[in-house]
Amino acid sequence: MTCDLAPSILSFDLTDIRQSVRTLVASGASIVHLDVMDGQFVPPITFGDSYTKSLRSCTDALFEAHLMVNTPEHQFEAFAAAGCGRIIFHAEATVHSHRLIQRLRTMNVEPGIAINPGTPVEAVLPVLDMVDIVLVMTVNPGWGGQVFISSALEKVRRIRDLRPNVHIEVDGGIDPHTLPMAREAGANVFVVGSHLARSAELAQATKEIVALCG
Ligand code: DX5
Ligand code: ZN
Question: What pLDDT does residue 183 have?
Answer: 98
Closest by alpha carbon to 158, among 191, 122, 112, 115? 122
- Domains held by the chain: number: 1
Ligand nearest to the CA of 172: 1
Smallest CA-to-CA distance from 4 within 205, 192, 200, 164 is with: 192
Side chain identity, residue 84: C
pLDDT reading at 214 higher than 90: no
pLDDT of residue 62: 98
Instruction: Give SS3 for 35.
Output: strand
Burial class (CB within 10 angstroms; exposed 0-12, middle 13-18, buried 19+) of 104: buried
pLDDT at 1: 87
Ligand 2 mean position to 175 CA, how many Å?
14
Return the CATH number at 52.
3.20.20.70
Over the chain, what is the mean pLDDT? 98
Q: Of the ligands numbered here, which is closest to the C-alpha atom of 139?
A: 1
Domain, as residue range, for 112: 4-213
Tens-digit pLDDT profile for residues 139-176: 999 999 999 999 999 999 999 999 999 999 999 999 99
Whether ligand 1 lies within 6 angstroms of the CB of 172 is answered as yes
Q: What are the b/e assignments for 59-70, b being 16+ CB within 10 Å?
A: bebbbbbbbbbb
CA angle 123–129–130, rounded 5-degree value: 90
Q: Is residue 108 helix, strand or coil?
A: coil
